[in-house]
Structure 1
Amino acid sequence: MRITALRATPVAVPYRTDEVWAFGRRAGLVSVLLEMETDEGVTGLGEAAAYPSADVVLSVLRGLEPLVVGADPLRVEALIQRIDVVGTWHHVGHSSPAIAAVETACWDILGKVSGQPLVNLFGGRFRDRVEYFHYVAAASPEGVRDEGRRAAEAGARVCYLKIGADELATDIDRVAALREGAGPEMGVRVDPNEAWSPGAALRALRALREYDLELVEQPVSGRNLPEMAYVRGRSDVPLLANEASWTRADQLAVLQHGAADAISVDHQMDGGLLNMKRSAGMCAAAGLPVVKHSLGELGVALAAGLHVIAATPNFRCANQAYGALLTDDVVIGAFGGPAANYRDGCLEVPDGPGLGVTLDADKVARYAELYRSGAAEYTFHDPEALRTAPALPKR
């Protein structure tokens, strides 16, 4: 079997409410869908988050074509080594989501050819359902309180809230409102996205301690691991590394510095599903749980990560997905993005061969046109944030 073509389609899917973080907002997400064609008529699916933009992803995919077209998609390790070593793409970063999409498509083909769901190829089911948190968009305290109630009524066990506002009082009000709305049993995870200096982080953690936070994600710069370790050593609120832990090399450094209580991993940020499985194994050896991170993904990439999580023991915490925000998805059937497809915050592992998902051609066409006509609305290039000239850290 040989790869004959890569077909990439950027799509934009709206949110039901804006995603807001410490430095901007977006009204939906952009992903690049990949269809890998072969000379035997088997097509593999992949997906790349538009990080840092769809144009970059599409450019990387064009650059990968000479290395990929003509290769055997069943020899996944050999193909990725060709990309990394011969093509010199091993310095993962902005190129990583596109490489991950290629690798995912190969795994989808391998699963289809062997008649096995991907979870079986990554070690078999350790769990039948995978838990995800309920994404609560930053809003007024009243809006956050209402979303917390919505999450509890849907059966979610963990809520995730973006914080890192200009004033600590704003963050405190939002977290208090979430706790009130979601109830005392709900896990509450917050993410300042590196908005704080170490001193500001400790002050914030002390102020938020009464709300029984499950995890605080990346409170300080991910590029200063001694300061992360400093904060961790002076607070009993568990820290989750994210911007500090996008690749296996980054994760090793976090472990060496003792800078986090849990590690965020993401196949799109580190070149593929095999590397995410390796990340989890490395963290397991250090005695730490891992959490699946998402840059914003639709049903194809969601399914890919789901299979690996289901086969890997130390994904013990609720993982990141966008079902609570998305209005729609691009895959056929109940599996995919909208929150209605989750049961008690969990998704069932697909049991079809490969990824177990199929693209909905009509929806792909609809959201490809939406990308062509209005992609700017679905990026983080928030005009208000641009006018305020934000900088890291905020305080």
Structure 2
Amino acid sequence: MRITAIEATPVAVPFRADEVWAFGRRRGLVCVLVEVRTDEGVTGIGEAAAYPSADVVLAALRALEPLVVGEDPTGIERITKRVEVVGTWHHMRNTSPALAAVDMACWDIVAKICGQPLVTLFGGRFRDTVDFFHYVSGAGPAEAAEQAREGAERGFGTFYLKVGSPRIADDVERVAAVRSGAGPDARIRVDANEAWSPAAAIRAIRAMQPHGLELAEQPVSGRNLAEMAYVRGRVDTPLLANEASWTRFDQLEVVRHGAADAVSVDNQMDGGLLNLKRSAGICEAAGLPVVKHSLGELGVAMAAALHVMAATPNFIHANQCYASLLADDVITEPHVYDRGRLPVPDGPGLGVTLDRDKVARYAEAYAKDPDAHAFHDEDALTAPPSLPRL
């Protein structure tokens, strides 16, 4: 069996409510759907987050095509090394989602050939369902409380919100509102996306702690692990590394520095599903739990990650998803959350099928206005935020 073509389709799916963080906002999600075709008629599907943009992903896919077409799709390690070494992509970060999408499609092909769900190939089911958090989008206290209440009514147990506002008091007020809406037993996770200085991070986390925080994600720069370790030693809330842990090599450094209590991992940022499993293994050896990060995923990439997470023991916290923000999806049977958990698909391969009508609709939406769902904020564009906040 040989790969004959790689087909890419950028799509733009709207959000129910804007996603807002320390650096701006976006109104929807752009992803690039990838189909890897073979000479034996088996097609695998994958998905790349449009990181840093769909144009970059599409250019990366065109660049790796000569290194992939003609290869055996079952030789995933060979393909990856061929791209990383022969293609001199071994310093990947911005180009990683493109390779990750091809990797995902190849795993889909392999599992389809075997007639097995992908979870079987990654070690078999350690768990049947995987836990996810409810995303409370950037909003004022009243809206945050209502969004948290809605998530609690749907059965979610963990609530995630962005922090890093110019005034720490505003963030504390929103955390209190989420506690009010979610209830006394809910877990609350905050993510500053590197917005704070060490002093601000310590003040902010201590001020939020009375409202009960599960984890504080990337409070300070991910480029200074000694600084992260400093903050970690001065707060009671466990820290989650994210921008500090894009790849398995970064995660090894987080472990060495004692910079976090939990580590965010992401196959899109590290070029493939097997690397996601490797990341979790590094952290398990260090006694650390892992959390699946998302650059923004639709149903295809979500299914792929589900298979790996279900086969990996140390995914013990709720993982990131966009379920509470997405207004639609591009698969025929969208994932249905039951009390914040998703079952692992049972069908062969990834176990999902593209809804061609929806793919066409959202591909047209992207083509009409490619920038409509990008991170744009007029205020941020005219007065860029000065970070870190003190």
Q: TM-score range, shorter-chain basis?
A: over 0.9
Q: Give per-residue Cα distances to partners, 1:78-121, cap 9 Å, x unaligned.
A: 11111111111111210100000010000000011110100000
Q: CA–CA distance in 2 between the matches of 1:358 and 1:65?
A: 24
Which amino acid is the alignment partner of residue 377 of structure 2? D
Candidates 350, 354, 357, aligned match of 1:355:
350
Q: Tell me, which stretches of 5 or more residues in structure 2 are unaligned?
A: none
* Alignment of 1:345 onto 2:347: no
Q: Tell me, which stretches of 5 or more residues in structure 1 are unaligned?
A: 336-340
Q: CA–CA distance in 2 between the matches of 1:352 and 1:198?
A: 47
**CA contact under 8 A between 2:218 and 2:242: conserved in structure 1?**
yes
In structure 2, the partner of 1:151 is 151
In structure 2, the partner of 1:142 is 142
Q: CA–CA distance in 2 between the matches of 1:393 and 1:310?
A: 37
* Alignment of 1:377 onto 2:372: yes
Q: CA–CA distance in 2 between the matches of 1:195 and 1:306?
A: 30
Q: Per the alignment, in what secondary structure is the counterpart of residue 179 of structure 1?
A: helix
Q: CA deviation at 1:203?
A: 0.6
Q: CA–CA distance in 1 between the matches of 2:287 and 2:311?
A: 18
Alignment of 1:232-381 (within 5 A): 232-335=232-335, 341-381=336-376
Q: CA–CA distance in 1 between the matches of 2:90 and 2:118?
A: 25
Q: CA–CA distance in 1 between the matches of 2:364 and 2:346?
A: 31
Q: Per the alignment, in what secondary structure is the counterpart of residue 221 of structure 1?
A: coil
Q: CA–CA distance in 2 between the matches of 1:392 and 1:273?
A: 33
**CA contact under 8 A between 2:299 and 2:334: conserved in structure 1?**
no
Q: Give per-residue Cα distances to partners, 1:157-194, cap 9 Å, x unaligned.
A: 10000111011111011000000010011100000110
Q: Per the alignment, in what secondary structure is the counterpart of residue 35 of structure 2?
A: strand
Alignment of 1:14-33 (within 5 A): 14-33=14-33
Which amino acid is the alignment partner of residue 390 of structure 1? P
In structure 1, the partner of 2:36 is 36
In structure 2, the partner of 1:90 is 90
Q: Give per-residue Cα distances to partners, 1:111-132, cap 9 Å, x unaligned.
A: 1111010000000000000010
Q: CA–CA distance in 2 between the matches of 1:236 and 1:196?
A: 17
Which amino acid is the alignment partner of residue 348 of structure 2? P
**CA contact under 8 A between 2:131 and 2:319: conserved in structure 1?**
yes
Q: Per the alignment, in what secondary structure is the counterpart of residue 231 of structure 2?
A: helix
Q: CA–CA distance in 2 between the matches of 1:101 and 1:333?
A: 20
* Alignment of 1:197 onto 2:194: no
The share of aligned pairs that are identical, in percent, is 67
TM-score, length-scaled by structure 2 = 0.99
Q: CA deviation at 1:205?
A: 1.1
Q: Per the alignment, in what secondary structure is the counterpart of residue 387 of structure 2?
A: coil
In structure 2, the partner of 1:179 is 179
Which amino acid is the alignment partner of residue 214 of structure 1? E
Q: CA–CA distance in 2 between the matches of 1:386 and 1:204?
A: 26
Which amino acid is the alignment partner of residue 369 of structure 1? E
In structure 1, the partner of 2:229 is 229
Which amino acid is the alignment partner of residue 93 of structure 1? R
Q: Give per-residue Cα distances to partners, 1:195-226, cap 9 Å, x unaligned.
A: 00000100111111101100000000000000
Q: CA–CA distance in 2 between the matches of 1:90 and 1:240?
A: 26
Which amino acid is the alignment partner of residue 65 of structure 1? E
In structure 1, the partner of 2:163 is 163
Which amino acid is the alignment partner of residue 152 of structure 1? A
Q: Per the alignment, in what secondary structure is the counterpart of residue 379 of structure 1?
A: coil
TM-score, length-scaled by structure 1 = 0.98
Could you say what the CA RMSD is over the residues aligned between the two structures, in angstroms? 0.7
Q: CA deviation at 1:381?
A: 2.1
Number of residue equivalences:
390
Q: CA deviation at 1:334?
A: 3.6
Q: CA deviation at 1:394?
A: 2.3
In structure 2, the partner of 1:338 is none
In structure 2, the partner of 1:76 is 76
Give 4+ residue runs of structure 1 displaced > 6 Å after superposition. none
**CA contact under 8 A between 2:123 and 2:311: conserved in structure 1?**
yes
